Structure 1
Amino acid sequence: MIDKLEMFIALAQARHFGRAAEAVGVTQPSLSAAIRQLEDSLGVMLVLRGSRYGGLTPEGERVLQWARRIVADARAMREELRVTRAGLSGTLRLGVIPTALAAAARLTAAFAAAHPDVRITILSATSIAILDDLDALALDTGISYLDNEPLGTKATLPLFEERYALLVREDHVLAARDAVAWAELGEVALCLLTPDMQNRRIVAGLLAQAGVTVAPRIESNSTIALLGQVLAGGWATILPLGAAEAFLSHGPLRALPLTDPDARHRVGLIAPAREPQLPLVAALLAEAGRMVR
């Protein structure tokens, strides 16, 4: 039953029989047969079928919630038994919003030093994608905003507060300033993160609050790309100070705190709310707690 539920979860995530079969390492006919067997055993139709995948039935949506819970519990049980035999090892899958990658590096470096047999996969993702992948069991934990997206039922651990700065090259007209007010940015050539990024939505809200309308000519989902535009000259970008500080000691960059308001947003670890936690997740939460303290 567990293997069939895992295939069903993969199908719901991929929304395509072929891609789901590839994700779980079986042939498409094998996956289709497993889904039909699951439907027969439960006595309900789970998937709308036509010439291609047509989505889940209402019963399928409900079964998906149970499937994620059952599969997560089964994985946690297997992992706990494996750790009891062999110690903490395996791969921790961590999703991180782009503006928190520097903070994630400090945490994962400490975690890797404390647990040398654990491998870590760090994936840059939007806050919404992190929540979706946690629900779909595609991630073990994430680092994201704690007070802007509806998190649902999640365990959280605050790590730091995000504060914002205007990043300019040292020859920019504003570079000599000690700080810049949000209301002054209306005439500044800005390149910003793409609208699917929560940071961009936060920045847009703060600009609107200051009466500034911005339609950036350059957008990217990469902070590195934005800083590259600033270094090329003529452009400015808005990033959290923590995301920018790694670049301030190299090259001609200035970070000017943005004021009126001095906005702050909490960023932290997010994990499924379960007890007991996966051993790898519990160990990461413990390491993060030590760093915060």
Structure 2
Amino acid sequence: MLDKLQMFIAVAKEGHFGRAAASLGITQPTLSTGIKQLEDQLGVQLIFRGSRFGGLTPEGQTALVWARKIVGDTRQLREEMRFQRHGLSGQLRIAVIPTALTWAARLTSRFSEAHPKVRFTILSRTSIEILSMLENLEVDAGISYLDNEPMGRVSTEPLYEERYMLVCAADSAFAAREAVGWEELDGQKLCLLTPDMQNRRIINKNFAAAGVTPEAWAESNSTIVLVANVEAGGFVTVLPEDMARFLISGKSLKIIPLKGVEVAHTVGLVAPYREPHTPVLGTLLREAKRMSAA
């Protein structure tokens, strides 16, 4: 039944039989047969069907909660058995907000030094996508904001607080300044992250508190693109300090602290709530705690 539950979770996530089949690497007829067999085993209809996917039935909504729990518990059992036989090993999938990728590298590097049998897949995603991926068991953990938007029932471990910096060219009028007020960026040629990014929503709030409506002349979901635009000339951008320092290294660019209305936001490790966690994930949470304390 486990493979059928995984099919059901995929269909619920994608809202489309073809995309769900592709995500699982199977044919659509195989997927449809699997879902029908699951419905026969459970004795209920799980999905409204017409010419296309019509959503989950009430019974399907309830079954989805159980499907995620059963699949998650099965994976945890496998992890426990692997740990008993081989120690900490396996693959950890982590989805990370773009502005925290440098911290993800630090965390996984430190973890790998102590536990070389564990491998990592690190994906850059928005905060909303991270929560969805955790819920649908697509990743094992995330690194995201902990205090700006609802997160649901998860385990968290704070890593750091964001401090925002202006990134500008060395010949910018701001380059020699010790600090710049958010209000001073009114009318500047800004390149910013796209509005679906939580970092952009935080930055917009800071601008609004300073009485400024920012005009983004260029937008991207990549911090590399933002800094490349600044380096190419004419643009300025706003990034968290750690990411800004990493991206300007070796470039003729300056970073200046932004002052005024800014409110710091905590970024940390996020994992599905489970007691206990798998050995690998539990160890990762403890390593994040040690990093934060240091």
Cα offset for 1:289? 1.9
The CA RMSD measured in Å over matched residues stands at: 1.2
Task: Say whether 1:32 aligns with 2:32.
Answer: yes
Q: Given residue 62 of structure 1, which amino acid in structure 2 is its aligned partner?
A: T
**Residue 245 of structure 1 corresponds to which residue in structure 2?**
245
1:206-260 CA distance string (max 9 Å, x none): 1011110112120000000000000011110010001111134311111111111
Q: Distance in 1 between matches of 2:283 and 2:196?
A: 31
**Counterpart AA for 1:216:** A
The aligned amino acid for 1:264 is A
Q: TM-score, normalised by structure 1?
A: 0.97
Counterparts of 1:274 and 1:228, CA distance in 2: 41
The one-letter amino acid of 1:181's match is G
Aligned to 2:149: 149
Equivalent residues in 2 for 1:129-140 (5 A)?
Answer: 129-140=129-140
> In the alignment, is the contact (CA less than 8 A) between 1:127 and 1:149 conserved in 2?
no
Partners in 2 of 1:228 and 1:35 — Cα distance?
Answer: 47
User: Which residue in 2 is equivalent to 1:291?
Assistant: 291
Which residue in 2 is equivalent to 1:273? 273
Is contact 1:247–1:253 with CA below 8 Å preserved after alignment?
A: no
Secondary structure of residue in 2 paired with 1:152:
coil
Query: Which whole-Å CA distance do the structure 2 matches of 1:148 and 1:63 have between them?
Result: 31
Please give the secondary structure, in 2, of the residue aligned with 1:13: helix
**Residue 100 (structure 1) aligns with:** 100
Q: Which residue of 2 aligns with 1:87?
A: 87
SS of residue in 1 equivalent to 2:216: coil
Matches within 5 A, 1:1-293: 1-293=1-293
CA-CA distance at 1:279 after TM superposition: 2.3
- 2:95–2:124 contact (8 Å) kept in structure 1: yes
Distance in structure 2 (CA, Å) of the matches to 1:250 and 1:4: 52
Preserved contact between residue 190 and residue 235 of structure 2 (Cα < 8 Å): yes
Equivalent residues, number: 293
CA contact (8 A) 2:227 2:248 kept: no
Q: What SS does the corresponding residue of 1:64 show, helix, strand or coil?
A: helix
Aligned-partner Cα distance in 2 for 1:164–1:42:
52
Which shifted more, 134-143 or 243-252?
243-252
- In 1, the alpha carbon distance for the partners of 2:38 and 2:267 equals 40
- What is the CA deviation profile of residues 4-59 of structure 1, one whole-angstrom value per residue up to 9, with x for unaligned ones? 11110011112222222233333322221121121122222111111222221222
Note the C-alpha offset of 1:280. 2.1
Q: Which moved more, 1:65-74 or 1:42-51?
A: 42-51
CA distance in 1, matches of 2:95, 2:77: 23
The offset of 1:203, in angstroms, is 0.4
State the one-letter code of the partner of 2:221. N
Please give the alpha-carbon distance, in whole angstroms, between the structure 2 residues aligned to 1:24 and 1:183.
Answer: 49
Native 8 Å contact 1:164 1:263 kept in 2: no
- Give the distance between the partners of 1:182 and 1:5, measured in 2 at CA: 50
When normalised by structure 2's length, the TM-score is 0.96
Question: Which letter does structure 1 place at the counterpart of 2:145?
Answer: Y
In structure 1, the gaps of 5 or more residues are: none
Aligned mates of 2:113, 2:119 — CA distance in 1: 11
Which moves more between the two structures, 252-261 or 50-59? Answer: 50-59
Structure 1 pair 220/40, CA: closer, same or farther in 2 (3 Å)?
same
CA contact (8 A) 1:156 1:271 kept: yes
For residues 178 and 292 of structure 1, what CA distance do their matches in structure 2 show?
27
Amino acid at match of 2:26: V
Q: CA deviation at 1:272?
A: 0.5
Structure 2 alignment gaps of length 5 or more: none
Change (3 A) 1:10 1:177: same
Runs of 4+ in structure 1 over 6 Å off: none
| Alpha-carbon distance between aligned partners in 2 of 1:282 and 1:158, rounded to the nearest angstrom | 14
Query: Structure 2: how far apart are the matches of 1:189 and 1:25?
Result: 45
